[in-house]
Structure formats: C-alpha cells, structure tokens
Structure 1
C-alpha cells in the first residue's frame, strides 16, 4: 500500500495496531524477544511510539492520532519489517520483572523466565529472603537480572559480571537509570575470574547456551543480537561448565545456584547424568532453568 495512502486512511491507535500486525504477519517476522506474536508486538510498538503504558485502558484505542504520531509509528513498522531486528533495538526499551531497561545491539534483549523467580524472591528455595545480602549475576548483559534482584532484595549487594565491556556499558546505563550504583557493582570478568574469594547467597545466570549449529539456523532477529551472548560451543555448554565448576568456591553454605540453559537442557543432563538438577516450572511460560543447592554443587563439582 502507498505510504501516503496509509497515513491518510489510518487514523486511530487501533488502526495502526491492526495495520502493524498485518504487515508483520505478511513479512513472516519472528517473535521471540518479549512478545508472543504479531498482535502483541504491534501493540507494543504503537504504545511505545505514543509514550503510553502497555496496560492502557481499551477505550483509548479509538483515539485519533496526530500526523506526526502516525509518521513516527509507520517509520517504526517499516524498520521492523525491513531490518528484521528485534523491536527492542528500534525502541531501545525492554520490560523485565516489571521494570524498564535500555537495550541496544551490544546486549541480548531481556526475556528470561528468571524474571518470575525474582519477583517471587526465589521462593521457596531461599529459606530467608530477607537475610540475603550477597547476589551474583553472571553474564549480566543489560544488567536486567542484577538490577531486578537489587530491587527485589533491597538489603543485598549485587555483583553483575560480564566478559564484554560493551555489555557492561549498557548495564551501566541501566544501573544509573534505576539509581542503584551504590548496590550494583559491575565487574568485567570471565565468569568468576575477577571475583577473588567472594561468596554469595544466590548465584543466578542466563549465560550463552546455544550450540553452534543451532545458532547458524536461528531466525534473522537472533542474528541481530551479539553472538557472544548466545552461542557457546558445539554443545552449547562451554560457559555453563565454567559456571558449574566454579560455583562451589563462591556459594555460601546455604546458597543456591540458578542457571538458564534453555535448549541445552538435554545436553546438560547427558553430560552430567549423576547431578540431581531441579528443573523449575513457570506460570507465565518458559523452561530450561535449573537450581542446585550449595550442598549439591559441593557434592558433584
């Protein structure tokens, strides 16, 4: 459809959500970065462009848009279709655990089911959440897990570790946005290498876990993300092995280790058949997240 024709005939917020969803489906876009499908992504795009909340009451969807608002929305729709980048890279905004984060191509788009665990204070796995004073987020990327943990555990200090200086630059933006520089420490490190003898009540991680063959076959939207944040060797477990092998030295006696391994779950169990991984369930969807206690880590690693 002619661009000017679209601008002339689509006038309401609802019009642009419908039009965006149709364009996205027609183009065969992939949705796996925080939205469930074309309609959800269309609504997220339009509401962001209009500086409106995602829980906007339905009555507002009949509101007419100004010409500059229509231009702005249409520009984002066209970029999403043509560039095949995740929407968050176009809006530089991604929600996680009820918070908003700045993101760009230096980090993965936040989407881990670990958000649900954070909101629940890792219950019932942490005996006394109010006693948690030290948390480690490995492979922090945008800092979303570290920052969400700092909000959920206001008495805790959080170390946010990443090997990528670019990722830590984005994490710093988010730490400052949420005014948590006094409790969230950013550390450039290859997993535990720069942490000395520090020990934690909780170690949590969403590390790279995609195997090389799987990474090559991913939709274009994933290839817009940094490969270092996704791909981790022939079986996807290179980084996870380092996390498991070093956790014993950095967990407190009653601490827990929570790691997302996604599609590498089957490979992990095949590599460590004797380890009693506890696979967690999520009300809002998601899988491939395991939990081990400090005692289990000490017994098997």
Structure 2
C-alpha cells in the first residue's frame, strides 16, 4: 500500500507537558483523510509539525517516502496548506497575492492562478483589495493559494470556516474532485462532522493529544448500527412496557420525551403496535443509522453511544 504521509510515534512537549503523545498516522495516496477531535485535542499542532512550522520533540514524519528534516525544502514545495486562518497582503488583490505566492514557490504557470480562482468562485473580483473581502472570501482565497501550484498533498485546517451552506457544498465538491480526478491527497480537519462524513475516505480521531482511532469510512458504514427512535409524552410508562412486555433491555432514555432502542431482533411495527395497545401515545417513531457524529462521540466517551 502506498502512503503519502506517515508519522511515527510523534511527540510534542511544551514546558514539560506532553501535548501530542505517540501519534502514528498513515495517509494513503489519493485519499481524503478527515482529522477529527475536540478543540485543543492537538489537530493544528500535528498539522504544524507536518508542515515544518514547529518541530516535534521526538518521533518522525515521512512525506512522499522521505523523512522530513529542517532542510526538506523540495518536499514542502509539493504541499499546499491552510493552517489556522490564512493571512494575506491586505492591500493587494487576490490575483496579486497568488502571483507573489507563485514567485515564492518558484512556480511560473500564470494560467494556474486563473484556474484556482475559478475553482473557488473568486474569478470576477477585479481589483478589489483583500482587506475588503468577507471571511468566507478569504477562506476561498486561502484554498486557491493552497491549490494554485498543483500540490500532491493538501493540508487543510478548518478550511470551511466562515462559509455559508452553498459555499460549503461547493468546496466539498471541489475537494472530492481534486482527490478523485487529480489524485491529490487531502488531510482535512473540520468541526462540521456531516461534511467530513460526505467526503472522507478515512478518519483519524484525536483526543487529548492521542490518536484513538484510524478507520475507513467504508468500515464505519459496513458496521453501522441502526436504532429505533421514538418520541412519546409518557416516557416512564413507555420504558415499563419496553422492559416488561417486550423484554427489551438495550435502550436509552435521552430526555423526558425521547427514547432510543438499540435492540436488533424486534421490528419497529411490533414495538409501535404493543405501545398503542398499552394506551401510549407515540408522536413519532423512526429508524435511524448511527452517523459519523454518533461514532465520533462514542469514541470520545470510551466506545459507548451517548446522547
């Protein structure tokens, strides 16, 4: 199997405190790798180490089969990045900013600037200086800068911050296109788990500086657990009937009106019929699948599904 990016027992210590602990990631060529974790979990720190912005305390990073060192200038030219918020020359236009970036990177295909601006829907902004851009426009320009030089690996830290739903959908489709059609490998973090679920091939979940899971989305879908969710105005009586009449024990009371049933050997219709016979009013009953958000939260809760 061909890996574009690997980390081996990556550790980062600040003031004697270990903030990243023995992280070993494996990112395959051409895939979209969704990097998930709560605020402060260590996602940005790891991305900064991968892009040589900060140095690991110990451990190794391997990109394109080569160990990352202080002098890996040619390796880094093959990357496109957004780490935290993109910064620009505010008085210059989008095109002028990208032109300077290409000069800095030693990349002289000027047509690539037009293509990048078109891909992120910033083509018709004429001579508008970046200082007059909205947050969403700056995020788009940051992505344009990251892809202008046709990188083999994109490192994107929260790239859809500040975008409206239409903009988020456009960039989701762009990232999928870059991966599938151009073979670009993408490491992307986001708090919007529904978006990662729709685009990622693999996810890595980090918490308290430790990588607690690395798993393919196909594997999550194959092992997806369905559950029945019902809304009632008499939760106490409903749980009594579930336990004593239907002999269901694998259920969770989410709040005063909502119950989730994880039993897989009894149908929704049997549950509904039994509850109605027992004069329980059911406002809603649906069969749902555990989402990436449910899976993510279960990992953070030690492997148990939580409301």
The structure that is strand-richer by fraction is 2
Q: TM-score, normalised by structure 2?
A: 0.29
TM-score of the two chains, using structure 1 as the length reference:
0.29
Ranked by relative contact order (alpha carbons within 8 Å, sequence separation 6 or more), the top structure is: 2
Q: In terms of Rg, which structure is larger?
A: 2
